[in-house]
Amino acid sequence: MLEHGQALTPALAPLATRVCPWLVDTVGAHRDEPDDGVVRAMTLVLRLERDAPARTAVLESAADAALALCLDDRAAPDGPWFDAVAAWADAGRIRKLARRARTSHWRAVQEIDGVTLGAEGAEVRALVPGPVDEVPHEVRRLQIGGTELPPDQPGPLPAGAPVIWLNPGVEQTLGKAAAQVGHASMILGTVLAAAGADPSDARHAAVRTASRDDWARWTEALDADPSGRTAWEVHGVAPVRDAGFTEVAPGTVTCLAVRAS
């Protein structure tokens, strides 16, 4: 069993106690500070110019940016982002919000602490988490919803890459899906780290919609063992179960992250 904190960043360590408790020593998993009641979230800003990017490319950028921020040296214990990331991750739920931006609004958010990743035209900036009612003006003015991208044909999976599979039976808006795949990359990185592997191996994940047959096979293991241990050990699969604040019912498995083969 991995001792708590070993190979786990401040963002991933509290998450490990919830998604893979069989791999970590949960003693001391949370900070001693009491819950201050503040709702915190990581904002994912999706770059959606008039020449709209492919939906899959945006989702893959969201997955990569969310995990990259958690693994960034600035989020380490001696880094300037440590307190903000640790306070967010140590809350009862790790929340994410997606907003969209283009042109000057997109350029403005580059000045806010965070990480921007993705192919040209399909970038996503993950911002350092903070209280949802204290977001900077440049972020507050951005739309949360209202823009959707059509399904696309992303092509074959990259060889040896981790994959985040979207639930084929649940419709999700672009913003919702971006938040979910961002959480999936974090969960995959968490389980890898807790198992003694490199959490950065969860970076650059492909995003696809699962076939119903594959989804049924994977979720059968989750139904048999809700802890997720069997699904991970047999299939290399880690689930994202939604809290149910928007769009889907609480407990819905919105996507599954599968480690690289």
Strands, E assignment, the chain: 40-47, 95-101, 114-117, 124-127, 130-131, 163-166, 206-209, 237-241, 253-258
User: Token pair of 89, please?
Assistant: 């991750």
Q: pLDDT tens digits for 199-214?
A: 999 999 999 999 999 9
pLDDT value at residue 161: 93
- Give domain limits for the chain: 12-27+40-149+158-258
Mean confidence (pLDDT) of the chain: 88
- Interatomic CA distance for residues 1 and 23, integer angstroms: 5
Q: How confident is the model at residue 7 (pLDDT cuts 50, 70, 90)?
A: low
pLDDT of residue 79 exceeding 60, the answer is yes
Q: What is the DSSP letter of 232?
A: I
- Interatomic CA distance for residues 259 and 160, integer angstroms: 9
8, 60 Cβ separation under 8 angstroms: no
pLDDT of residue 113 exceeding 90, the answer is yes
Q: pLDDT tens digits for 154-206?
A: 989 999 999 999 999 999 999 999 999 999 999 999 999 998 899 999 999 99
**DSSP letters for 94-109:** -EEEEEEE-HHHHHHH
* Backbone region of residue 201 per phi and psi (left: phi > 0; alpha: psi in -120 to 50; beta: other values): alpha
pLDDT of residue 128 exceeding 80, the answer is yes
* DSSP tally for the chain: helices H, then strands E: 8, 9
